[in-house]
Amino acid sequence: MREFAGTMVLALVLAGVGAWGRTAAQNPIPSLPPGAAPPVLTSPQLSIDPKLLHEQERKRRELEQKQLRQDAAQLLALAQQLKTSVDRSDKNILSLDVIDTANRVEKLAKKIKDSMLTGR
């Protein structure tokens, strides 16, 4: 029974290979003549209104400026909080709150600097 099943599988595989070969021969892949360039696929041209682009750019810059102002105000508040925390701390005690606030000031200052350099 096992040999019969193995023989049947082999017969089906060979029949499939033979059928594939006939199909490939009947439907060959079209080829280009020698020296011919492949066709260039083009997309339809989109017409974009320059006024619309200008308006979008203006709105983007306004939003970036608004975010920059908010970040600067937050940086000022954090810097004042840091100064108050340092003034209250003892010279022999290192406060984790001071370190955390200093890290937040540093990250926000870097964000503002990068935003101003890249324009985003």
Please calculate the CA angle 45-46-52 and round it to the nearest 5 degrees: 150
pLDDT value, residue 42: 67
pLDDT value, residue 75: 96
- The pTM of this model reads 0.55
Phi, psi of 16 (to 5 degrees): -65, -40
pLDDT value, residue 28: 62
pLDDT value, residue 103: 95
Report residues of the chain scoring pLDDT below 70.
Answer: 1-30, 40-45, 120
Q: Convert the pLDDT of each residue in 35-50 to its tens digit.
A: 777 776 666 667 788 8
- Alpha-carbon torsion (7, 10, 12, 14), positive or negative: negative
- Alpha-carbon torsion (83, 89, 93, 97), positive or negative: negative
Residues present in the chain in total = 120
pLDDT value, residue 37: 73
Q: How buried is 102 (Cβ within 10 angstroms: 0-12 exposed, 13-18 middle, 19+ buried)?
A: middle
